[in-house]
């Protein structure tokens, strides 16, 4: 193919008016033929030129040879041989040939096309090609183009495989998987998601994914989702899903953004993990940590947290918060007499009743024991608080019928209000507690608002209590002695031991102040035992000094008297000190006898049997009748100072004193008038026939040495 006119070289003539070829600059040393060959060799597509007549491949470019897998050897230029080499399977070969032949038969030459034709290349590799045969009738040639599709078909296949595997995996995943577009509409959901939501595939697709979220959580989740989409970021969250079947699942949702090739956000793939079990155990742990197992009410920790929250809210909104501290009035007695199981039952019923009577939004908690506390996070007036107090009282009015017992109980309520009574949790709770104690102090079934003054009293009480705890050990306690005389003969017949406490911090504290406190705190047991031992030791010392023994009277507090070990304690001390039981007199107030008549009777009987003398102190102040006393083995009645004080001017008091003296005599008991301060009183009592007296007129309480000097 030589010559400069490429038109001729290509022989591009025929019936069609030939188009002029663009003028190509032929590089030096090249002919149009070599140019064309180079061009063909650089095409990425295989090209072969065959003569239709002879069935011979006349030309093949480089791409063709690459697909074919070698050089076209002489023998292969023959189409038959070529077919035999690329279609080793005779059936396949016949099929291809038939097609070509039929194409030829039908009007000479027809363009033909095979897609995805499998051939075997020279090196034995299977290839997938697409072939087009383009007849060029005027040249009696056939041009074949061959395109190697092996790689792209393989990749398509791999993609399909991977897609299928993804589908299988997604379907089998124990985690819900949802693919959504940027609007949040579901494009693909897996089986687990459908199970969780209870939706069919049709229902699930094209639907806003967070429509499945529980209405209570939906807003929060939607907000999170929207902000993630706006920023093209991932998102996470826990929420409940309300299944169409009515079941509720707790799930953890994690969405990862997916971007298209240009980096535009295309949507999200969200995994949805069922965390219901974890939530359930968390809830159980919460129950244990925050709820009282007996009443199922919130406990102290929960209450403190709630209060903290309420205070934070109240500070912002400038509102008041009330804390009502409720304590049962007689729970200890009920527990002691009917047993702990019964006590538990009662607490439970009380919890139920109180819960039923509180308003929505208020929290009732049990702090422990018989202490309940009510939090009113939103109050404005005291009137509102009192309305709640009234409800609590009403709830407690009816008796509790439990295990066949009918039990009445009541509560004392202390109230502290934010901000006036305290600005923080601890202060409010402490002040409500203080107010509750104040309410109790005024009698049962009362309520009391906190006041600063109360705080001062509590503080004093606390200082007293702390001081008293150490009083015995620090030798701050002493006894003083007040003589008792026979009014007729003037003889010294006895002495009353009276306790004194001189505190280095608080100074001299009167017994009227510290003894009730010692009773409340239980310190009285230690202190009382000390007094008893000290009094007996002193009596022993006087005897050792050669004094005539006199009766030594020791005061017993109610708690001490009702204590089961009293008799043993007294016996032990008497044995230790070698004192005769008759030399000891124990004084108890009549109110103690009234408190528990049976125990009192038993104790008095056994003490009396041991030979110990018994006196009723402050008689007349406790409303008991003398006749009532006749059942008790009492040696002496001490007429209370209150009746002696105005005995010479108040006929009523005189009459009472006279009756007591007369009746005591008829019951073979001795009467002793306390607090005799004047000679007139002494004379008056003498006229009434009062056998014994005690009082400042005859002798003030004095030291042991001073008293020893009085003894004969």
Q: Which residue has the tokens 């000679």?
A: 679
Region of 412 on the Ramachandran plot (φ > 0 left; ψ -120 to 50 alpha; else beta): beta
Q: Which does 515 bind (CB under 5 to 8 A by kind): ligand C2E, Mg ion, none?
A: ligand C2E
Q: How far apart are the C-alpha atoms of 555 and 586, rounded to whole Å? A: 6
Q: Which does 482 bind (CB under 5 to 8 A by kind): Mg ion, ligand C2E, none?
A: ligand C2E
Per-residue DSSP letter, 22: P
Nearer to Mg ion, 367 or 524 (CB): 524
Q: Which does 166 bind (CB under 5 to 8 A by kind): Mg ion, ligand C2E, none?
A: none
Q: How far apart are the C-alpha atoms of 413 and 373, rounded to whole Å? A: 9
8 A C-beta contact, residue 590 and residue 618: yes
Q: How far apart are the C-alpha atoms of 696 and 480, rounded to whole Å? A: 13
CA distances from 694 to 301, 375, 479, 643, 697 (A): 57, 55, 17, 14, 8
The piece of 123-131, 286-294, 403-411, 671-679 that touches Mg ion (CB under 5 A) is 671-679
CB of 386 to ligand C2E, least distance (A): 39
CB of 518 to ligand C2E, least distance (A): 8
Nearer to ligand C2E, 358 or 676 (CB): 676
589 near Mg ion, judged by CB under 5 A: no
Q: Which does 370 bind (CB under 5 to 8 A by kind): Mg ion, ligand C2E, none?
A: none
Nearer to ligand C2E, 131 or 531 (CB): 531
CA dihedral 530, 532, 535, 537 (to 10 degrees): -80
- Among 316, 322, 275, residue whose Cα is nearest residue 175: 275
CB of 562 to Mg ion, least distance (A): 18
Nearer to ligand C2E, 215 or 512 (CB): 512
Helix H or strand E encompassing 710: helix 704-710
CA distances from 272 to 175, 203, 213, 222, 280 (A): 6, 18, 11, 15, 17
- Among 659, 658, 624, 616, residue whose Cα is nearest residue 640: 616
587 near Mg ion, judged by CB under 5 A: yes
Q: How far apart are the C-alpha atoms of 412 and 324, rounded to whole Å? A: 10
Q: Which does 510 bind (CB under 5 to 8 A by kind): ligand C2E, Mg ion, none?
A: ligand C2E
CB of 594 to Mg ion, least distance (A): 17
Q: Which does 531 bind (CB under 5 to 8 A by kind): Mg ion, ligand C2E, none?
A: ligand C2E
Nearer to Mg ion, 553 or 654 (CB): 553
Alpha helices in 551-668 (DSSP H): 558-562, 566-577, 590-595, 597-609, 626-629, 641-645, 651-666
CB of 556 to ligand C2E, least distance (A): 6
Interface with Mg ion (CB under 5 A), residue total 5
Q: How far apart are the C-alpha atoms of 499 and 494, rounded to whole Å? A: 16
Nearer to ligand C2E, 415 or 553 (CB): 553
Enumerate binding residues for ligand C2E (CB under 6 A): 482, 498-499, 510-512, 515, 531, 555-557, 587, 617-618, 641, 674-677, 695-696, 701
- Whether the CA torsion 577, 581, 587, 588 is positive or negative: it is positive
The piece of 45-53, 83-91, 99-107, 581-589 that touches Mg ion (CB under 5 A) is 581-589
Nearer to ligand C2E, 563 or 587 (CB): 587
Nearer to ligand C2E, 467 or 701 (CB): 701
Q: How far apart are the C-alpha atoms of 535 and 531, rounded to whole Å? A: 6
Contacts 24+ apart (CB under 8 A), 2-5: 2/31, 2/33, 3/31, 3/32, 4/32
CB of 536 to ligand C2E, least distance (A): 13
CB of 698 to ligand C2E, least distance (A): 8
Nearer to Mg ion, 179 or 636 (CB): 636
CB of 510 to ligand C2E, least distance (A): 6
Site string for Mg ion, 621-660 (x = CB under 5 A): ----------------------------------------
Q: Which does 696 bind (CB under 5 to 8 A by kind): Mg ion, ligand C2E, none?
A: ligand C2E
CB of 675 to Mg ion, least distance (A): 8
Q: Which does 292 bind (CB under 5 to 8 A by kind): ligand C2E, Mg ion, none?
A: none
Contacts 24+ apart (CB under 8 A), 235-241: 238/275, 239/213, 239/214, 240/213, 240/214, 240/216, 241/196, 241/197, 241/212, 241/213, 241/214, 241/272
Nearer to ligand C2E, 323 or 640 (CB): 640
Q: How far apart are the C-alpha atoms of 303 and 137, rounded to whole Å? A: 100
Q: Which does 512 bind (CB under 5 to 8 A by kind): Mg ion, ligand C2E, none?
A: ligand C2E
User: Rg of the chain's alpha carbons, rounded to an integer?
Assistant: 56
CB of 296 to Mg ion, least distance (A): 50
585 near Mg ion, judged by CB under 5 A: no
8 A C-beta contact, residue 177 and residue 193: yes
Q: Which of 617, 643, 661, 682 binds Mg ion (CB under 5 A)?
A: 617
Nearer to ligand C2E, 292 or 617 (CB): 617
CB of 369 to Mg ion, least distance (A): 35
Q: Which does 327 bind (CB under 5 to 8 A by kind): Mg ion, ligand C2E, none?
A: none
- Among 554, 555, 558, 471, residue whose Cα is nearest residue 516: 558
Nearer to ligand C2E, 407 or 702 (CB): 702
Largest Cα separation within the chain, whole Å, is 175
Nearer to ligand C2E, 346 or 657 (CB): 657
β partners of residue 584: 552
The piece of 296-304, 374-382, 621-629, 669-677 that touches Mg ion (CB under 5 A) is 669-677
Q: Which does 695 bind (CB under 5 to 8 A by kind): Mg ion, ligand C2E, none?
A: ligand C2E
Tell me how long the chain is. Answer: 712
Nearer to ligand C2E, 190 or 482 (CB): 482
Nearer to ligand C2E, 265 or 599 (CB): 599
Nearer to ligand C2E, 148 or 617 (CB): 617
Q: How far apart are the C-alpha atoms of 352 and 347, rounded to whole Å? A: 9
Q: Which of 295, 412, 555, 681 binds Mg ion (CB under 5 A)?
A: 555
Q: How many CA atoms lie within 13 A of 174 on its CB side?
A: 2
β partners of residue 508: 502
Q: Which does 593 bind (CB under 5 to 8 A by kind): Mg ion, ligand C2E, none?
A: none
CB of 529 to ligand C2E, least distance (A): 11
Q: Which does 556 bind (CB under 5 to 8 A by kind): ligand C2E, Mg ion, none?
A: ligand C2E
Q: How far apart are the C-alpha atoms of 102 and 104, rounded to whole Å? A: 5
Q: Which of 534, 618, 653, 692 binds Mg ion (CB under 5 A)?
A: 618
Interface residue list for Mg ion (CB under 5 A): 555, 587, 617-618, 674
């Amino acid at each position: 193919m030589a010559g400069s006119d490429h038109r001729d070289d290509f022989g591009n003539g025929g019936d069609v008016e030939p188009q002029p070829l663009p003028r190509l600059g032929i590089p030096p040393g090249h002919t149009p033929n070599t140019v064309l060959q180079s061009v063909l060799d650089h095409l990425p597509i295989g090209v072969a030129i065959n003569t239709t007549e002879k069935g011979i491949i006349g030309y093949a470019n480089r791409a063709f040879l690459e697909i074919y897998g070698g050089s076209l050897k002489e023998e292969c230029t023959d189409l038959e041989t070529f077919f035999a080499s690329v279609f080793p399977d005779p059936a396949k070969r016949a099929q291809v040939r038939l097609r070509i032949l039929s194409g030829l038969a039908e009007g000479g030459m027809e363009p033909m096309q095979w897609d995805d034709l499998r051939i075997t290349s020279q090196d034995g590799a299977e290839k997938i090609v697409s072939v087009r045969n383009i007849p060029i009738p005027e040249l009696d040639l056939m041009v074949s183009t061959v395109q190697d599709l092996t790689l792209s078909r393989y990749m398509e296949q791999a993609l399909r495989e991977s897609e299928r595997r993804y589908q299988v995996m997604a379907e089998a995943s124990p985690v819900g998987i949802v693919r959504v577009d940027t609007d949040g509409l579901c494009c693909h959901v897996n089986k687990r998601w459908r199970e969780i939501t209870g939706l069919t595939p049709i229902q699930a697709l094209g639907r806003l994914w967070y429509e499945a979220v529980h209405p209570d959580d939906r807003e929060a989740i939607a907000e999170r989702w929207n902000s993630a989409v706006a920023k093209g970021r991932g998102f996470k969250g826990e929420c409940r899903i309300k299944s169409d079947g009515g079941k509720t699942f707790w799930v953890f949702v994690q969405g990862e953004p997916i971007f298209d090739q240009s980096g535009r956000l295309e949507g999200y793939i969200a995994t949805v993990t069922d965390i219901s079990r974890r939530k359930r155990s968390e809830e159980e742990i919460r129950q244990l940590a925050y709820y009282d197992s007996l009443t199922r009410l919130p406990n102290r920790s929960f209450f403190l947290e709630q209060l903290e929250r309420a205070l934070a809210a109240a500070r912002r909104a400038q509102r008041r918060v009330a804390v009502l501290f409720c304590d049962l009035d007689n729970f200890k007695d009920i527990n002691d007499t009917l047993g702990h199981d019964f006590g538990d039952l009662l607490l439970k019923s009380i919890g139920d009743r109180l819960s039923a009577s509180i308003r929505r939004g208020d929290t009732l908690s049990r702090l422990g024991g018989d202490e309940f506390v009510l939090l009113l996070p939103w109050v404005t007036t005291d009137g509102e608080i009192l309305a709640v107090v009234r409800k609590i009282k009403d709830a407690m009015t009816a008796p509790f019928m439990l295990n066949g017992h009918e039990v009445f109980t009541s509560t004392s309520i202390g109230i502290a209000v934010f901000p006036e009574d305290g600005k923080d949790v601890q202060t409010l709770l402490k002040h409500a507690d203080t107010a509750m104690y104040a309410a109790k102090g005024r009698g049962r079934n009362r309520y009391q608002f906190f006041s600063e003054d109360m705080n001062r009293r509590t503080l004093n009480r606390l200082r007293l209590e702390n001081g008293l705890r150490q009083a015995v050990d620090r030798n701050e306690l002493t006894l003083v002695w007040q003589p008792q005389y026979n009014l007729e003969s003037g003889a010294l017949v006895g002495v009353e031991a009276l306790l004194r406490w001189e505190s280095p911090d608080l100074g001299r504290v009167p017994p009227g102040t510290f003894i009730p406190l010692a009773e409340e705190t239980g310190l009285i047991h230690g202190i009382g035992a000390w007094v008893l031992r000290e009094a007996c030791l002193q009596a022993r010392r006087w005897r050792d000094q050669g004094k005539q023994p006199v009766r030594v009277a020791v005061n017993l507090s109610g708690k001490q008297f009702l204590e089961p070990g009293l008799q043993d304690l007294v016996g032990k001390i008497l044995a230790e000190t070698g004192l005769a039981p008759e030399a000891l007199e124990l004084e108890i107030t009549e109110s103690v006898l009234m408190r528990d008549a049976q125990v009192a009777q038993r104790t008095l009987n056994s003490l009396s049997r041991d030979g110990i003398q018994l006196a009723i102190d402050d008689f007349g102040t406790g409303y008991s009748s003398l006749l009532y006393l006749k059942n008790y083995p009492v040696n002496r009645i001490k007429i209370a100072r209150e009746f002696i004080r105005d005995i010479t001017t108040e006929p009523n008091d005189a009459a009472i004193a006279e009756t007591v003296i007369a009746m005591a005599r008829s019951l073979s008991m001795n009467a002793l008038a306390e607090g005799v301060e004047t000679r007139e009183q002494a004379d008056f009592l003498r006229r009434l026939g009062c056998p014994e007296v005690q009082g400042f007129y005859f002798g003030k309480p004095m030291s042991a040495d001073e008293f020893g000097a009085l003894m004969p």
